[in-house]
Amino acid sequence: MAIRYELIKTCKQSGARLGRLHTPHGVIETPIFMPVGTQATVKAMTPEELKDMNAQIILSNTYHLYLRPGHKLIEKAGGLHKFMNWDRPILTDSGGFQVFSLGPLRKIREEGVEFRSHLDGSKHFISPEIAVEIQNSLGSDIMMAFDECAPYPADYDYVKNSLERTTRWAKRCKDAHKNTDQQALFGIIQGGMYKDLRKQSAEEIIGLDFPGYSVGGLSVGEPKDIMYDVLEYTTPLMPKDKPRYLMGVGSPDDLIEGVIRGIDMFDCVLPSRIGRNGTAMTSRGKVVIKNASHTESFEPLDTECGCYTCKNYSKAYLRHLFKANEILGLRLLTNHNLHFLLNLMEEVRQAIREDRLLDYRKDFFEKYGYNL
Ligand SMILES: CNc1nc2c(CC[C@H]3O[C@@H](OC)[C@H](O)[C@@H]3O)c3nc(N)[nH]c(=O)c3cc2[nH]1
Ligand SMILES: [Zn+2]
């Protein structure tokens, strides 16, 4: 088996799960946040910096790496771990999301999806079999099935037809996946914001039997309460003894609310993306570093944070770097934001160990400035 999930305990107060995911490249403590490295790099971070902040697994992306530099080149380099100098677990997304959202002029057929590259407009075709082949070349520990992430909003019939094609594609991915002892293939549950379609997709995908499952089709612009509602309904339909991955979710409140609703794994570009734009997540809410109020703030971003940035630099210095367009600014804020979310998840795991995750949520939300 490429991966083995161990359910360690369930929080008595919230029902959230504490687990361990054993992979060929190491053990992952769950619930876990996975930094996103779409193009074989977590932007602006070195693997050593990611290890220093205790990143246990990172993401990369089939669509992007297939277009550039090409999965065959990465295979020749010895696979993605070697190519990017990352010897811990890697999860690759199948490209389903990008093909539907990035590739202009896409044409969906039963066979697969024709699309034009967002880089140079060249024509391409990805099928479930090709998505599996690309991820085999990359050598990721966890591969995602090729799916359609239905847009939001989308009408009932569209979502129903889409989820049924995604099920047929998931079966084709499973049939094409040969090296099941090296790489685990996760199924992706769709169904939009319709509970009966979520149930249908969950039954069909789980019926194909995968070592792990993700909840897809969320964090696509829907209101938070609709996302939480769909989760509340969908996770109980998923097996307890397998990991549950919520794709594309990563703000502090969404992570905590997702864990309380039974999710084990998360990924999101948010912390890196807003970090590069000069916004820091801190225990007292967001800090926009270019704000004039920080000009003479000689204290760190977050006095409660133990990251490299907060241990060595003041807000005044960080503001100066961003005003001067210095690259170090992007790196230091990205480092802090990723550390902040990884540390948040360590605190969440500790709260589950001590059966007090709802208390933790209350305290965190009050300090961060969220209203419960
Ligand atoms: C942001 N919200 C969101 N992201 C999502 C992603 C990953 C985007 C992928 O694209 C890149 O981040 C934008 C990263 O490489 C990431 O893995 C999804 N991927 C698949 N295959 N299916 C989905 O239903 C899906 C839904 C998402 N909702
Ligand atoms: Zn910090």
Query: pLDDT tens for residues 225-241?
Result: 999 999 999 999 999 99
Q: Is the model's pTM score more than 0.90?
A: yes
Percent of the chain with pLDDT strictly greater than 90: 96
pLDDT confidence band for 103 (50 / 70 / 90): low
How many folded domains does the chain comprise?
1
pLDDT attached to residue 100: 82
Would you tell me the crossing angle of helices 195-207 and 224-234 to the nearest 10 degrees?
Answer: 40
Is residue 84, in this structure, part of any structural domain at all? yes
112 is in an annotated binding site: no
Residues 304/283, Cβ–Cβ less than 8 Å: yes
What is the average pLDDT across 335-345?
98
Beta-ladder partners of 28: 21
Over 70: is that where the pLDDT of 273 sits? yes
- Residues lining ligand 1, Cβ inside 6 A: 36, 38, 59, 61, 93-94, 96-98, 144, 147, 149, 188, 216-217, 219-220, 247-248, 267, 269
CA–chain centroid gap for 80, Å, is 18
In which domain, by residue range, is 169 found?
4-268
Known catalytic residue at 52: no
Residues 126/99, Cβ–Cβ less than 8 Å: yes
Over 90: is that where the pLDDT of 102 sits? no
What is the average pLDDT across 258-268?
98
What pLDDT, in 10s, does the model give residues 296-311? 999 999 999 999 999 9
Q: Where are the beta strands (DSSP E) in 82-121?
A: 90-93, 107-108, 113-116
What pLDDT, in 10s, does the model give residues 23-77? 999 999 999 999 999 999 999 999 999 999 999 999 999 999 999 999 999 999 9
What is the average pLDDT across 145-150?
97
Is residue 22, in this structure, part of any structural domain at all? yes
Ligand 1 center to 72 CA (angstroms): 23
Is residue 178, in this structure, part of any structural domain at all? yes
**Range name among 103-117, 194-208, 229-243, 270-284 with the lowest pLDDT average:** 103-117
Residues 6+ apart with CB under 8 A from 168: 110
pLDDT attached to residue 371: 76
What pLDDT, in 10s, does the model give residues 165-219? 999 999 999 999 999 999 999 999 999 999 999 999 999 999 999 999 999 999 9
Would you tell me the crossing angle of helices 252-260 and 357-368 to the nearest 10 degrees?
Answer: 160
Ramachandran angles phi, psi of 18, nearest 5°: -110, 130
pLDDT attached to residue 96: 86
Over 90: is that where the pLDDT of 101 sits? no
Residues 112/128, Cβ–Cβ less than 8 Å: yes
Q: Say how far apart CA 212 and CA 219 lie, in whole Å.
A: 20
Percent of the chain with pLDDT strictly greater than 70: 99
Here the CATH number for the domain that contains residue 75 is 3.20.20.105
Ligand 2 center to 337 CA (angstroms): 7
173 is in an annotated binding site: no
For residue 265, the ligand closest to its alpha carbon is 1
Is residue 238, in this structure, part of any structural domain at all? yes
Instruction: Return the structure tokens found at 332.
Output: 């230091």
For residue 131, the ligand closest to its alpha carbon is 1
What is the average pLDDT across 103-127?
92
Cis geometry, peptide bond prior to residue 31 (ω within 30 degrees of 0): yes
Is residue 227, in this structure, part of any structural domain at all? yes
Beta-ladder partners of 59: 36, 91
Q: Which of 141, 264, 267, 302 is catalytic?
A: 267
Is residue 8, in this structure, part of any structural domain at all? yes
Residues for the chain: how many in total? 372
In ligand 1, the atom with minimum distance to the C-alpha of 146 is: 21
Ligand 2 center to 62 CA (angstroms): 31
Average pLDDT, the chain: 97
Is residue 370, in this structure, part of any structural domain at all? no
In angstroms, what is the C-alpha Rg of the chain?
20
Known catalytic residue at 141: no
Is residue 203, in this structure, part of any structural domain at all? yes
